[in-house]
Amino acid sequence: MLKQLKNNYKSPVRRRVTSTDELTFNTMKRETIIPLIIGLLLGALFVVFFQFNARLNNNAAIIAQLEQATASNTKNVTDVIGFINNAQKGTTTGTTPAATTPVQ
């Protein structure tokens, strides 16, 4: 009639511990965590300084372009001012009235 139920669940096999090294399962000891934290902090500092250096180089290139454009524009403005001054000198010397005798 009723069959006996068979237990298929097996308990895990336990092994015998023979040494004290096997009793400690501290894979993350304090000696291994401290260098890891220091390494992460140094890595983060390296990344921050690398980004700062990249931005600094980018800004230096922009400033060099601005200096070049400023020098070119200064030369152009100087040439235009010189041209205007030369044009005014030519008209003023030719149009200055000569000493005339008064009309009687």
Q: What pLDDT, in 10s, does the model give residues 26-47?
A: 555 667 888 999 999 999 999 9
Of the two residues 90 and 89, the one the predictor is more confident about is: 89
Q: Report yes or no on 64 lying in a domain.
A: yes
What DSSP element (H or E) covers 2?
none
Domain hosting 86: range is: 55-91
C-alpha torsion sign, points 37, 39, 44, 48? positive
Q: Report yes or no on 68 lying in a domain.
A: yes
Of the two residues 93 and 87, the one the predictor is more confident about is: 87
From residue 19, give the alpha-carbon distance in Å to each of 13, 22, 24, 25, 27: 18, 6, 10, 13, 17
Taking the C-alpha atoms of residue 89 and residue 82, their distance in angstroms, rounded to an integer, is: 10
C-alpha torsion sign, points 66, 71, 74, 80? negative
Q: Report yes or no on 70 lying in a domain.
A: yes
What are 42-55's pLDDT values in tens digits?
999 999 999 999 99
Q: Report yes or no on 10 lying in a domain.
A: no
pTM exceeds 0.75: no
Q: Report yes or no on 38 lying in a domain.
A: no
The total number of structural domains that make up the chain: 1
Does the structure show a pLDDT above 90 at 19? Answer: no
User: What's the mean per-residue pLDDT of the chain?
Assistant: 79
Taking the C-alpha atoms of residue 76 and residue 83, their distance in angstroms, rounded to an integer, is: 11
Q: Report yes or no on 28 lying in a domain.
A: no
